[in-house]
Amino acid sequence: MMKSSNESQSAAVQLCYENINESCIKTSYSPGPRVILYLVFGSAVILAVLGNLLVMISILHFKQLHSPANFLIASLACADFLVGTTVMPFSMVRSVESCWYFGQSYCKFHSCFDMSFCYSSIFHLCFISIDRYIAVTDPLVYPTKFPLNVSLLCITFSWLLAITYTFSLIGAGVNDDLLEELVSALTCVGGCQIAVNQTWVLIDFLLFFIPTLVMVTLYCKIFLVAKQQARKIESMNRKTESSSESYKARVSKRERKAAKTLSIAVITFLISWFPYFIESIIDAFLGFITPTYIYEILIWFAYYNSAMNPLIYAVFYPWFRRAIKLIVTGKVFRGHSSTIDLFSEQVMVLD
């Protein structure tokens, strides 16, 4: 009777790899919840991949969009696109199946990609906020203060710093120094969780917090300046405007609108990633006691940010909606399509 009970209990326990003694235990969902989870996570993957691909194609194809600020946006979209292709699909399987089926080597690369593209996004958003601050506070001399070579330098810095830091940290294995016993106890075949000790988790947070502080400060200043400019323009409209004043008013309005749209992207990023970073600090100092399902919720909340930016652009940028229409209908393959005026209400394609 006792033997039969033990056999039924062992049969009830599912393993990621049934024939391996050191396999992780598999937590199975019933068919209904599994389908729902795959649909929810899969939709995020599709949005992140297709949405950011459209952003990159739009900016790189249409010459009218070739500006320092837009190249930063295209590079940011590239980071989100890579999250959608190299990180999210594998995390989706791990989250639903509660097992890692892609090997320990790719587990490390997956974690490196995850952190690299996250930090790259943070640095891009920080440089975009600096760009918008200069554009709004001094729009007429902005092209000389933030030219293309400065934009390319910011892009290069964002990628190099993020990749170098992450691959050095995880590749050298210093992330789990002093955590060897814990890592050994939790390690099993079919798992993929990277432990980060207290020192490095604080450094990770600072790499998130410092650019965030810069962004918040600059956008607060931007909106103060924008408010002053709006009052000034309203005052000018009551008088007879000169052509130069009218031009400056139009430029100021356009730059303020761009700053507003990008500030929404920044706020979305902070809402998405801030809970994850806070949880990482708390978990490191409390001995990694956070339940797996809490971690999965927070990480997917963060992943969804990669799918949000294209939706923000689609809502607030008419030129992006027009570009999508031209790309989807295949009109970008027609002659001289790269010279189309996307800022015009009537988009004409030259045959």
pLDDT at position 225 is 81
Report if residue 345 sits inside a domain: no
Q: How confident is the model at residue 102 (pLDDT cuts 50, 70, 90)?
A: very high
| Closest to 288 measured CA to CA, from 160, 186, 214, 200 | 186
Compute the distance between CA of residue 181 and CA of residue 179 in angstroms, rounded to an integer: 6
Q: How confident is the model at residue 109 (pLDDT cuts 50, 70, 90)?
A: very high
Report if residue 96 sits inside a domain: yes
pLDDT tens digits, one per residue of 301-329: 999 999 998 988 888 888 889 999 999 99
Report if residue 321 sits inside a domain: yes
Report if residue 3 sits inside a domain: no
Q: How confident is the model at residue 9 (pLDDT cuts 50, 70, 90)?
A: very low
pLDDT at position 110 is 94
Query: For the CA atoms of the chain, what is the radius of gyration?
Result: 24
Report if residue 243 sits inside a domain: yes
Residue range 131-148: average pLDDT? 87
CATH number at residue 280: 1.20.1070.10
pLDDT above 70: residue 13: yes
* Local structure of residue 242 (DSSP, 8 states): P
Classify the phi-psi angles of 197: left when phi > 0, otherwise alpha if psi is within -120 to 50, otherwise beta: beta
Contacting residues for 157 by C-beta, under 8 A, at least 6 apart: 123, 127
Report if residue 77 sits inside a domain: yes
Residue that has been written with the tokens 């978990």 in this structure:
283
pLDDT at position 219 is 86
Report if residue 11 sits inside a domain: no
What domain count does the chain have? 1
Range of the domain at 141: 29-339
Q: How confident is the model at residue 240 (pLDDT cuts 50, 70, 90)?
A: low
pLDDT tens digits, one per residue of 158-185: 999 999 999 999 988 888 887 888 778 7
Report if residue 21 sits inside a domain: no
> How much is the pTM?
0.86
Residue that has been written with the tokens 């640095």 in this structure:
123
> Amino acid letter at 30?
S
